[in-house]
Structure 1
Amino acid sequence: MAIPVEAFFLTGGTAGTLQSRIRAMVTEGILAGRFRPGQKMPSSRGLAEHLGVSRITVTLAYADLVSSDYLTARGRSGYFVSDNAPRAPEFPAAERPAEEVDYGALSARRYTRAMAGVDRPEDWEKFPYPFIYGQTDPTLFDHQNWRACALRALGRRDFASLTSDFYERDDPLLIEQILRVILPRRGIAARGDEVLLTLGAQNALWLAATVLLGPGRQAVVENPCYPGLRRILQTSGAGVASVDVDEAGLPPRLPPADVVFTTASHQCPTNATMPLDRRLQLLDAASREDFVVVEDDYEFEMSFLKPVSPALKSLDKGGRVIYAGSFSKSIFPGMRLGYLVGPPAFIAEARALRSMVLKHPPGHIQRTVAYFLAEGHYDALINRMRNAFRRRRQVMDDAISEHGLTVAGQGGFGGSSFWMAAPEGVDTEPLAQVLRADGVLIEPGRGFFDPAREERRFYRLAYSSIAPARIPDGIARIARALARSG
């Protein structure tokens, strides 16, 4: 029995090429059991006319399905569902089990309670004025060379790096590139046994906090700070003290601590840069008072106004600094690839902890990034992003000045955001909801602060994912909303 052409239809909004979408329709029908072995497929001409696509698109999709053994070609008779096509296991429909266990009570909700942070809609790219942090602009990304590096990493020569289980090890080619290309730019000299790859900076901070902290130990964090770090520390069992930052970042006089977390080069979210003398004071205090510093150097590549100061790790003479870096802001956030740099004994412990959750980041991603670095595409991408961000920053700075908005912190070397202050008495969370209805996304500041001393008048405006031409109108809408708020 032939499969009727009406069994196929293309829906709007589906990702992928027409060829891949046709292939997906066929494979889904076969795996779901709707199309049975031996059934004849519609002719390529008939399906093309029905779907409104070219015949060659259907022919190529059918040829691909034949090579995967979903279909078989029988000369002039056409295409048929293969007798060897993969089949999904068939089970009777199961009823949903009764929920007899209160898992919220069982877990004490210790993780979901810690999830409060910065609210960003999942469909942010549909908003015309997305002043949100950490998202990429597809017009700046080097799609062609990234694809070439990914295809090279898929080649037969790299088959082992793609398919092998490295156990607890990382791709030596990527480690070499981090040691030779990335770390020297921060003044850091390291060996292979002093670097561990992570699934982004968040994973790096979790590994560092879990290794270094626990019940009975004390952490110091900046206030305000990265909300993800605060969530990690809430569940660590350690005591946490928040220290207010000033225009130069974290002050050198700190309460007693075992571990101090800082974003010295680009304070999150105020963008303050810690000057060299204060960095040296912090390291002196770490040696004198016997604590470890975890340095999150998350945006050092975006230095286009003036060079950044040396990393704390580069000034470290006693092995007291654990350095966390990430490719999420420089390549793209969805990749989730970062790294830790520290003394071999710390890295060995962090590697053992990582192995309890995952052996290593995916090998194909590691090798692709290694080629992207080795062939110089990373440097070209960073240069393009710096130039674009410099232009966007100037446009935003001009618009902010024109509309009389208040900048609370914008950083001295670049970055990708402004830290803003609304007038006294304005709560930026309701303001954000009003602006969202007007197509504008901002990040309210409350989630960055210690809950015991939260501030509601601050907000962050980022320019990494908004087109320069939209910035002035977006800023004008923010100014009008603030004026209406009184």
Structure 2
Amino acid sequence: MAIPVETFQLKPAAQGTLQARIQQMVAEGILSGRFRRGEKLPSSRGLASHLGVSRITVTLAYTELVANDYLSARGRSGYFVSDSAPEPPAFGSLAPRGDKIDWDAALTARPTRDGALGLVKPADWQRYRYPFIYGQTDPHLFDHANWRLCAMQALGQRDFAALAQDQFDRDDPELVDFLARHTLPRRGILAAPEEILITLGAQNALWIAAQLLARGRVAAVEDPCYPALRGLLRQAGADLRPVPVDEHGLPPQAIPPETRVIFTTPSHQCPTSATMPRTRREALLRRAAEMDALIVEDDYEFEMAFLRPPSPALKSLDEDGRVIHVGSFSKSLFPGLRLGYLVGSARFIAEARALRATILRHPPGHVQRTAAHFLRLGHHDALVARIGRALGERRRVMEAALARHGLDIAGRGAHGGSSFWMQAPDGVDTDDLAQRLAADSVLIEPGAPFFAGDAPPRRFYRLGYSSIPVERIDEGVARIAAALAPARAAS
């Protein structure tokens, strides 16, 4: 790989001759790790022209760097970073110098403070032997071969327009058509193309809904709930009203009467896994109508209903256009795909489309068309069935392990899902528990971030089973039980 000549800039305040300054510039690039072994430097003529110096000055600098084994000369090919050049220091590249800005005063928004990022998962989770973390994909279950074939098909000449053109604010018609004719009817939802918007995952869909519906308004959220949702709503300037959930999810009568928009996960409450029964869903719709409030339904894990068929979506019961439905392919395909959708009245979707266009125009056309092919050819349904069988087996093994080792389940999905909501003994702080378990190669998710308020309960935690091999589940649960043993004995 050639190092661009634009990378090289002489520092005006640097001391020494031009030759020495060029030598220092190249050596610093190598020592900082910016220039790597085997990379080609600009020609002496090209660098001289770029820097406005004589060619002999650059040639002498290069020659000295060759003598010091920073560079090597290869016949007529030019100069390269030497294979035996000094290694950059272990601490990595040097940080940018100088930052005198008062960022607390300069920033008009603080997403890190407001919790917009939600939960933080370790990037190296795969190195842990017992990763009970939620939402990660088991690579052994994914259909790599057919996804690759669909991606290649989307790269072909027939799909060139979907790949290369700026669609401005439009979505892939094949993907929208599949959602309208196949995916949504399975949730009991009938929607026209103008009532569907493709998003960059469910998070992007929730952000759009928050911006359009909750700015400056009272918004009710479940407590506990998806942590990033509270951050999105705070960024939108909403007046948050957390409503404690029970074993059936969000209680409609507990929603404050001044609420204008309600965010809920009726099919699979996050994180307790409670499923809202139909009678309560109907009561929630009546309550929203009484208050003239809108409802944003996050239907984030309906494909993982392997125990029994999923309940119809709340949107399927909506006769007023009051419900905005959010869906995602992150759980059934893979999180890195970042592909989701919004379903709502045409007027709402038109405004959502215009807002999306101001930020990112549309999700990448190639990604949309690849997903459309994967869905249309039946690979998605086959993948969901395979994942369902695998998760069903892992759930069975995990339930047995949790019972055998005496751990307390606080919530489990009636239809399936991929996690258990757990409760530790009194006095246990699961943040501390998670740190101790990580040292024993076990990953769990502390529950405190899911709760609103400055003093959330500390004893809850979540155990996911989507990414841990079935043969490691029992030993992983045993290690959690051993870490909790002193607290259980004292309680």
Fold agreement, TM-score > 0.5: yes
Q: Tell me if structure 1 keeps the 8 A contact 2:119–2:228.
A: no
Q: How many angstroms apart in 2 are the aligned matches of 1:98 and 1:436?
A: 36
- Percent identity between matched residues is 58
Matched residue SS, 1:419: strand
Q: In the TM superposition, what are the counterparts of 1:147-186 in structure 2 within 5 Å?
A: 147-186=148-187
Q: How many angstroms apart in 1 are the aligned matches of 2:399 and 2:128?
A: 21
Shift of the alpha carbon at 1:429?
A: 0.3
Mark the CA change 1:234 to 1:388 in structure 2 (over 3 Å): closer, same or farther. same
Q: How many angstroms apart in 1 are the aligned matches of 2:36 and 2:364?
A: 26
Tell whether 2:403 aligns with 1:391.
no
Q: How many angstroms apart in 2 are the aligned matches of 1:110 and 1:338?
A: 26
Q: How many angstroms apart in 1 are the aligned matches of 2:320 and 2:386?
A: 37
1:431-485 C-alpha deviation (Å, 9 max, x unpaired): 0000000000000000000024511000000000000000000000000000134
Matched residue SS, 1:418: strand
Q: Which moved more, 1:380-389 or 1:173-182?
A: 173-182
Shift of the alpha carbon at 1:119?
A: 3.5
Matched residue SS, 2:304: coil
Q: Unmatched 5+ residue regions in structure 2?
A: 1-34, 47-74, 79-93
Q: How many angstroms apart in 2 are the aligned matches of 1:100 and 1:352?
A: 38
- Residue type matched to 1:300 in 2? F
Report what 1:62 is aligned to. none
Tell whether 2:351 aligns with 1:349.
yes
Q: In the TM superposition, what are the counterparts of 1:115-130 in structure 2 within 5 Å?
A: 115=115, 117-130=118-131
How many residue pairs match? The answer is 409
Report what 1:235 is aligned to. 235
Report what 2:193 is aligned to. 192
What's the C-alpha RMSD, in Å, of the aligned pairs?
Answer: 2.3
Shift of the alpha carbon at 1:99?
A: 2.4
Q: In the TM superposition, what are the counterparts of 1:327-366 in structure 2 within 5 Å?
A: 327-366=329-368
Matched residue SS, 1:277: helix
Report what 2:113 is aligned to. 113
Report what 1:222 is aligned to. 222
Matched residue SS, 1:451: coil
Mark the CA change 1:403 to 1:176 in structure 2 (over 3 Å): closer, same or farther. same
1:139-193 C-alpha deviation (Å, 9 max, x unpaired): 0000000000000000111111100000000011110111112101100000000
Q: Tell me if structure 2 keeps the 8 A contact 1:194–1:347.
A: yes
Shift of the alpha carbon at 1:118?
A: 2.8
Q: How many angstroms apart in 1 are the aligned matches of 2:40 and 2:190?
A: 53
Q: How many angstroms apart in 2 are the aligned matches of 1:95 and 1:196?
A: 41
Report what 1:262 is aligned to. 264
Q: In the TM superposition, what are the counterparts of 1:35-74 in structure 2 within 5 Å?
A: none
1:320-354 C-alpha deviation (Å, 9 max, x unpaired): 00000000111000010000000011001111111
Report what 2:27 is aligned to. none
Q: In the TM superposition, what are the counterparts of 1:78-477 in structure 2 within 5 Å?
A: 98-108=98-108, 110-115=110-115, 117-215=118-216, 217-253=217-253, 254-256=255-257, 257-477=259-479
Matched residue SS, 2:327: strand
Q: How many angstroms apart in 1 are the aligned matches of 2:118 and 2:320?
A: 35
TM-score by length of 1: 0.81
Q: How many angstroms apart in 2 are the aligned matches of 1:424 and 1:95?
A: 44
Matched residue SS, 2:302: coil
Mark the CA change 1:160 to 1:476 in structure 2 (over 3 Å): closer, same or farther. same
Shift of the alpha carbon at 1:245?
A: 0.4
Matched residue SS, 1:247: coil
Shift of the alpha carbon at 1:127?
A: 0.3
- Residue type matched to 1:417 in 2? S
Report what 2:29 is aligned to. none
Q: Which moved more, 1:452-461 or 1:419-428?
A: 452-461
Report what 1:69 is aligned to. none
Q: How many angstroms apart in 1 are the aligned matches of 2:95 and 2:351?
A: 45
Q: Tell me if structure 1 keeps the 8 A contact 2:109–2:235.
A: no
Mark the CA change 1:476 to 1:191 in structure 2 (over 3 Å): closer, same or farther. same
- Residue type matched to 2:323 in 1? V
Mark the CA change 1:242 to 1:80 in structure 2 (over 3 Å): closer, same or farther. farther
Q: Tell me if structure 2 keeps the 8 A contact 1:200–1:336.
A: yes
Shift of the alpha carbon at 1:214?
A: 1.3
Q: Tell me if structure 2 keeps the 8 A contact 1:181–1:373.
A: no
Q: Tell me if structure 2 keeps the 8 A contact 1:36–1:81.
A: no
Q: How many angstroms apart in 2 are the aligned matches of 1:276 and 1:81?
A: 73
TM-score by length of 2: 0.80
Q: Tell me if structure 2 keeps the 8 A contact 1:271–1:418.
A: yes
Shift of the alpha carbon at 1:383?
A: 0.2
Matched residue SS, 2:303: coil
Q: How many angstroms apart in 2 are the aligned matches of 1:35 and 1:331?
A: 50
**Highest CA radius of gyration, 1 or 2?**
2
- Residue type matched to 1:282 in 2? L
Shift of the alpha carbon at 1:32?
A: 4.9
Shift of the alpha carbon at 1:112?
A: 1.6
- Residue type matched to 2:336 in 1? G
- Residue type matched to 1:177 in 2? F
Shift of the alpha carbon at 1:96?
A: 5.1
Q: How many angstroms apart in 2 are the aligned matches of 1:138 and 1:203?
A: 25
Q: Tell me if structure 2 keeps the 8 A contact 1:35–1:81.
A: no
Shift of the alpha carbon at 1:136?
A: 0.1
Q: How many angstroms apart in 2 are the aligned matches of 1:118 and 1:328?
A: 16
Shift of the alpha carbon at 1:391?
A: 0.1
Mark the CA change 1:81 to 1:330 in structure 2 (over 3 Å): closer, same or farther. farther
Q: Tell me if structure 1 keeps the 8 A contact 2:118–2:226.
A: no
